[in-house]
Amino acid sequence: MLLARTFHRAILTLCVMAIASPALAQPPAPRAPGDPPPYVPTLTFDVASVREIQTDGDNPSWAIGLVSPPHSSQFEAKAHSAKVLIMLAYGFGPFTISGAPDWVSTSLYNVLAKSDHSVDDQLAKLTDDQARLEKQHMLQALLADRFKLKAHWETKQASLYALVIAKGGSKLQPTKIETVDPAVPNSAPPETRGPDIQSHSVAHGREMNVRYITAKGIAGLIGSMLQTNVEDKTGLPGRYDFTLHYTYQSSDPDSFPSIPTALQEQLGLKLESSKGSVDVLVIDHIERPTEN
């Protein structure tokens, strides 16, 4: 239970995008002859505030949240651990973090960061993939500056899970496309927004409300919740909205089901055991940030 509480304090509301020095970028995929060169992100935040928050270890409910539109420099993370910030920075892919001290998972921070309007204007003109890479680079640079993060990549064979469609089909509901509010400057089209994920305690476990998330994002989210590697093998396109009722562990006979059971019963998705190559981000150095 302690592990579940410690982790849950740190995770639930994220945007699957993300950044340390450019040398730590995710290992590039092979490029076929004739393919255009990969996009190289260069943007950084102009200002950033990082403050550690005090927590109550006996209370698993937290005001956790993240606002990080991909086509805007705005970044606001509430009650996130350094580990989750690192995972946000590298895209919540099937990778693990090794060599980090305990406080990286247990200490929680509020982070506010922003750039001037010229950066927002640049982000607004980029494709979704380019904007995602820039936001990742911006957060990586913040981690390198404020947490003194230094790390390197390694690859190993490991057990993982494949997220597949369960028998009977997916129960996910496609996101309802909304119109852009012309009164909001640099407002991104709804289909390019990052996921909106909220989780809170209820009578028999936890309720998670999710909007604007892709199947790949669901795999990353579930992998983070279970602290394991999950790959999206559903083949589902687009973005989805859903509510999930679940529990980590409970003696209450009326409690919600476990995460794997809730996935299958409520979303029509299933986790299957698999093995494959997993990228490992090895932490060489990290420091507690000084507040500002």
Q: For position 187, what pLDDT does the model report? A: 56
The predicted model scores a pTM of: 0.65
Q: For position 58, what pLDDT does the model report? A: 46
Query: Is 29 among the domain residues?
Result: no
Query: How far is the C-alpha of 282 from the C-alpha of 27, rounded, in Å?
Result: 13
Query: Is 191 among the domain residues?
Result: yes
Query: Is 291 among the domain residues?
Result: no
Q: For position 267, what pLDDT does the model report? A: 98
Please list the ranges in the chain whose pLDDT falls under 50. 1-25, 58-61
Query: Is 51 among the domain residues?
Result: yes
Could you list the residue range(s) of the whole structural domain that residue 78 is in? Answer: 2-23+43-285
Q: How many CB atoms lie within 10 A of CB 11?
A: 21
Query: Is 28 among the domain residues?
Result: no
Query: How far is the C-alpha of 173 from the C-alpha of 267, rounded, in Å?
Result: 9
Query: How far is the C-alpha of 157 from the C-alpha of 179, rounded, in Å?
Result: 45
Q: For position 38, what pLDDT does the model report? A: 84
Q: Which pairing describes strands 75-81 and 47-53: parallel, antiparallel, or unpaired?
A: unpaired
Query: Is 36 among the domain residues?
Result: no
Query: Is 35 among the domain residues?
Result: no
Query: Is 271 among the domain residues?
Result: yes
Domain tally for the chain?
1
Q: For position 63, what pLDDT does the model report? A: 62
